[in-house]
Structure 1
Amino acid sequence: MIKGFRDFILRGNVIELAVAVVIGTAFTAIVNVIVASVINPLIGLLFKADSLNDALAVPVPTLGGGEVTFAFGAVIGAIINFLAVAVVVYFVFVFPMNSFKERADARRKIGAEPEAEEAPLPTETELLVQIRDLLEKQQSKA
């Protein structure tokens, strides 16, 4: 039982997953700081929304005499926050990395030898014609 656990822990997949979680946590902190200090102030310039949590709150009376509040503003705020994070991740990290990879691939292709084009494979009809011709040759020799 202990040996099985040790084998499980020492597998490459578990170690890689642990590293990915740690890096993902650090990456989340970077993205959150960019969103909080750059993107959110830009959104604040466009419209005054100090707190979206209270902006579209709809109080609804309950059957017991109390009140329940539906905070639609919080949902809209979460959607805006998600889109802001997605924009930051794409334009700060994904787009530059894709451009870098494309340039690296282009450099590799320039230095590489041109690939020789392979001859196209014969069609079924062409193969059948070749087989027929070979059979005719064999029968004429016999």
Structure 2
Amino acid sequence: MKGFKEFILRGNVIDLAVAVVIGAAFTALVTSVVTNIFSPIISAIFRANSFDKLWVVSIPLTAGTADIKFGAVVGAIINFVIIAAVVYFVFVLPINAMMKRAFQQPAEPTADVPAPPTELDLLAQIRDLLQGDQQVGDKRIIRQD
């Protein structure tokens, strides 16, 4: 029983449960948009209530007929494309735009101040000082002992 309790209370299981519930609600929302808005438009364009009845090819067999329903396949493809478009343009694109605006970093003002020396420049200066050379501007002054 202890192992089961640890399994249920593990963060991954709870996250997965939340994802399933949100996914089911999201599926209902997208299905409603497609069924109530886009499907009637497509039915009006093709003058049919259902794609299942369009483009049916009957093949006679010895024991009846076999129906190949090209319309049902085309309808499924169209529904898939519509659902993908609705999800992208109605949900993903606006949410990505909002996230971009919310987490956008303000641009840093550019100044005419020269960039600070890099670590490599500082190490080269230290090396030169240890060797006895000193650099002033563009001229190098060599220590004379």
So what's the TM-score if we normalise by structure 2? 0.70
Partner deviation per Cα, 1:73-127 (whole Å, 9 max, x = no partner)? 1111111111111111111100100111121233xx117798x9994879xxxxx
Correspondent of 1:110 among 95, 99, 106: 106
Matched, 1:23 2:22: yes
The reply on whether 1:57 has 2:53 as its aligned counterpart is no
Query: What are the ranges of 5 or more consecutive residues in structure 1 without an aligned counterpart?
Result: 123-129, 138-142
Q: Deviations over 1:45-87 (max 9, x none)?
A: 332132111102111123x432111111111111111111111
RMSD over aligned Cα atoms: 3.0
Higher helix share: 1
Identity of aligned residues (%): 47
CA gap of 1:118–1:66, structure 2 versus 1, over 3 A, is farther
Deviation readout 1:29-58 (Å, 9 max, x if unpaired): 111111011111222333213211110211
Q: Which has the higher contact order (CA 8 A, sep 6+)?
A: 1
Structure 2: give runs of 5+ residues left out of the alignment: 132-145
Q: Which amino acid aligns with 2:68?
A: F
Moved over 4 A (4+): 111-114, 116-122
Match of 2:10 in 1: 11
Q: TM-score, normalised by structure 1?
A: 0.71
* In structure 1, distance between residues paired with 2:49 and 2:12: 44
SS at match of 1:70: strand
Q: Which has the higher strand share?
A: 2
Counting matched residue pairs gives 121
